[in-house]
């Protein structure tokens, strides 16, 4: 059953790619507008409700088989998150700082970050600790895929912003990118955002933990993550680009996020030698 669903997802993705290409060609011949997309935003791919359902099922199965398939996790989030994204957008609109984010549409990319300046900031500042997180965990903000299947331009940005602040949440929560750290962040995100993709990760992620880490999640990190996800200010409503020089402790206090009850260490992967 799983292989059949995965093949179906692959066929639908191919068809959407062909459809997007055809639309681009038609637009190039019919107008002088820049970019190739079908009406909502650059890169958008129109899908019917049936196609969205098929994409959701197929991407969900693929993500279950391999949680590190970030492309499949992205598709699952886009095809199942409309109600949650609408709620998040409304929360941002009702927050002065969140409204500014929606209006200015900042992006978190290597091209928009002043890494040299961040490196010169004092230890404990949000910018310095975020850079330390990127370096210690060997991750880059440029790994976040662009949104394609959300049929609303503003909601698409909300989803994009959620993806791009994910690593900032790791920094705020003090969680590394190992499996326990990722599951703890997913529990926080599930309570904070209501996205079905986050809820699925929060439920299924613990199945991949060993006994000691599962105990730590259930007795300490899990309750802490859920509590802070529910009580904290909307994390998408923060203009993080203006907060780099603020102390991490002060920012946590402002957002009503408690320090982690357990300090997890980054797991350094050793290179294989012949």
Residue 170, annotated as binding a ligand:
yes
Q: Determine whether the annotation assigns residue 166 to a binding site.
A: yes
With CA atoms as reference, report the closest residue to 160 among 92, 253, 97, 252. 92
Non-local (6+) Cβ contacts of 121 within 8 A are: 127, 128, 244, 245
Take residue 1 and report the two structure tokens written for it: 């059953």
Is 32 annotated in a binding site? The answer is no
d(CA 167, CA 121): 19
Q: Is 82 annotated as a binding residue?
A: no
DSSP state letters, 152-209:
SHHHHHHHHHHHHTHHHHHHHHT--SSHHHHHHHHHHHHHHH--HHHHHHHHHGGGGS
Angle at which helices 222-231 and 179-193 cross, to 10°: 30
Which residues are annotated as part of the binding site?
Answer: 166-167, 170, 182
Which residues are annotated as part of the binding site for Zn(2+)?
Answer: 166-167, 170, 182
């Amino acid at each position: 059953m799983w292989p059949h669903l995965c093949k179906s997802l692959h066929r639908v993705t191919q068809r959407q790619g062909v459809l997007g290409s055809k639309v681009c060609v038609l637009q190039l011949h019919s107008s002088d507008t820049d970019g190739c997309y079908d009406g909502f935003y650059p890169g958008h791919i129109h899908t019917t409700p049936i196609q969205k359902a098929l994409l959701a099922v197929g991407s969900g199965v693929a993500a279950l088989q391999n949680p590190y398939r970030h492309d499949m996790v992205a598709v699952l989030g886009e095809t199942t998150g409309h109600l949650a994204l609408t709620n998040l957008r409304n929360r941002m609109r009702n927050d002065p700082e969140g409204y500014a984010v929606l209006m200015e549409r900042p992006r978190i990319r290597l091209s928009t970050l002043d890494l040299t300046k961040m490196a010169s900031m004092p230890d404990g500042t949000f910018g310095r600790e975020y850079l330390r997180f990127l370096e210690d965990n060997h991750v880059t903000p440029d790994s976040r895929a662009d949104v394609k299947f959300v049929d609303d331009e503003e909601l698409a940005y909300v989803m994009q912003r959620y993806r791009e602040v994910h690593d900032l949440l790791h920094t705020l929560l003090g969680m590394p990118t190992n499996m326990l750290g990722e599951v703890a962040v997913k529990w926080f995100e599930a309570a904070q955002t209501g996205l079905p993709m986050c809820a699925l990760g929060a439920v299924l992620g613990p199945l991949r933990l060993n006994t000691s880490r599962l105990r730590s999640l259930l007795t300490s990190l899990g309750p802490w993550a859920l509590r802070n996800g529910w009580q904290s200010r909307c994390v998408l409503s923060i203009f993080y680009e203006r907060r780099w020089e603020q102390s991490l402790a002060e920012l946590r206090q402002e957002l009503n996020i408690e320090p982690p009850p357990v300090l997890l260490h980054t797991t350094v992967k050793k290179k294989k030698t012949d």
